[in-house]
Amino acid sequence: MAIGGAVTPGRKAKWAIIDIIVVVYALVPVLWIVSLSFKTKDTLADGNFIPRDWTLQNYADIFATDEFIRPLINSLGISIIATLIAVVLGMMAAYAIARLDFPGKKALVGVSLLIAMFPQISLVTPLFNIERELGLFDTWPGLILPYITFALPLAIYTLSAFFREIPWELEKAAKMDGATPGQAFWKVIAPLAAPGVFTTAILVFIFCWNDFLFAISLTSTEASRTVPAALSFFTGTSQFEDPTGTISAAAVVITIPIILFVLFFQRRIVAGLTSGAVKG
């Protein structure tokens, strides 16, 4: 409100109401999952937002079964490995794109970025077939490799936007002031690049962690099935039981860490996104 126009109480109230509606729409379902996960089997259907009887039974149930623990380990391992590799490969490619000039650059960038919007479904049947021939079907690498590939365009796009904004002359300046190339990189460039790398890593991790299409198409057993795929097979502790409580508990376990993580680092992430990437 730097220039002109007084903030009337009416206008302020209007903003507040719209903001509240949006937050409620965004947040109520999230909180509802948390609420369901603490309800007992009998009160599950009572429609109360605040559970009448609190219980940790749902959590105890999921951690008592391999149906959840195995997929959780798979999800963690596959997502972390895929994220690390995708970010490293993305950094290399983004460095070349942002810093170097070479013939064919435009075509290469185009080919790499086009994939971001590829209809993945067109590729799933042949991928399934290729992986089965190579013996990669239903293994960790069988998910890690497609995840890296489909995350790469996102990683390259975000990272090259960041790298373009880094004042690389500082590296030279540091060297002139007597820093070794290693020092110049780690003390000057790395801190400047860190928010971008961090933002990219989180976006890639969310993509791998939440993926459903590849997870159900390219896995068949607990050897590599990830949590999103396993959730759709959840049946509760016995076959005839309504699994809603346990599914909610599982959903909370896999969602809350990411939310806390992002809340904790959101200043950096939003600053990262607004400072370079996604700029039309």
Residues 86-115 that bind another protein (CB under 8 A): 89-90, 92-93, 95-97, 100-103, 105, 108, 111-112, 115
Task: Give the binding range for another protein (CB under 8 A) out of 56-64, 65-73, 186-194, 223-231.
Answer: 223-231
Task: Count CB atoms within 10 A of the CB of residue 16.
Answer: 10
Task: With beta carbons less than 8 A apart as the criterion, state whether 93 and 152 touch.
Answer: yes
**Is residue 248 a contact point for another protein (CB under 8 A)?**
yes
Helix (H) or strand (E) holding 77: helix 66-99
Task: With beta carbons less than 8 A apart as the criterion, state whether 86 and 206 touch.
Answer: no
Closer Cβ to another protein, 116 or 192, answer by number: 116
Task: Give the binding range for another protein (CB under 8 A) out of 53-61, 65-73, 118-126, 192-200.
Answer: 118-126
**Is residue 206 a contact point for another protein (CB under 8 A)?**
yes
CB 40 to another protein: min, Å: 15
**Is residue 195 a contact point for another protein (CB under 8 A)?**
no
Only one residue has tokens 């790469």, namely 152
Task: Give the binding range for another protein (CB under 8 A) out of 1-9, 57-65, 66-74, 192-200.
Answer: 1-9
- Return contacts of 189-197, CB within 8 angstroms, 24+ apart: 192/166, 192/167, 193/162, 193/163, 193/166, 195/162, 195/268, 195/271, 195/272, 195/275, 196/158, 196/159, 196/161, 196/162, 196/163, 196/272, 196/276, 196/277, 197/87, 197/91, 197/159, 197/162
Task: With beta carbons less than 8 A apart as the criterion, state whether 154 and 116 touch.
Answer: yes
Q: Among residues 62, 26, 42, which one has the least CA distance to residue 251?
A: 62
**Is residue 18 a contact point for another protein (CB under 8 A)?**
yes
**Is residue 176 a contact point for another protein (CB under 8 A)?**
yes
Closer Cβ to another protein, 112 or 237, answer by number: 112
Q: Among residues 232, 248, 246, 235, which one has the least CA distance to residue 35?
A: 248
**Is residue 154 a contact point for another protein (CB under 8 A)?**
no
CB 264 to another protein: min, Å: 10
Closer Cβ to another protein, 60 or 278, answer by number: 278
Convert 18-30 to b/e letters by CB count within 10 Å (16 or more is b): eeeeeeeeeeeee
Task: Give the binding range for another protein (CB under 8 A) out of 52-60, 62-70, 150-158, 189-197.
Answer: 150-158
Closer Cβ to another protein, 33 or 76, answer by number: 33
CB 192 to another protein: min, Å: 17
The residue type found at 116 is A
Task: Count CB atoms within 10 A of the CB of residue 34.
Answer: 15
CB 130 to another protein: min, Å: 6
**Is residue 224 a contact point for another protein (CB under 8 A)?**
no
**Is residue 231 a contact point for another protein (CB under 8 A)?**
yes
**Is residue 47 a contact point for another protein (CB under 8 A)?**
yes
Task: Count CB atoms within 10 A of the CB of residue 181.
Answer: 10
Task: Give the binding range for another protein (CB under 8 A) out of 57-65, 66-74, 140-148, 193-201.
Answer: 140-148
Cite the beta strand spans of 139-244 per DSSP E: none
Closer Cβ to another protein, 56 or 111, answer by number: 111
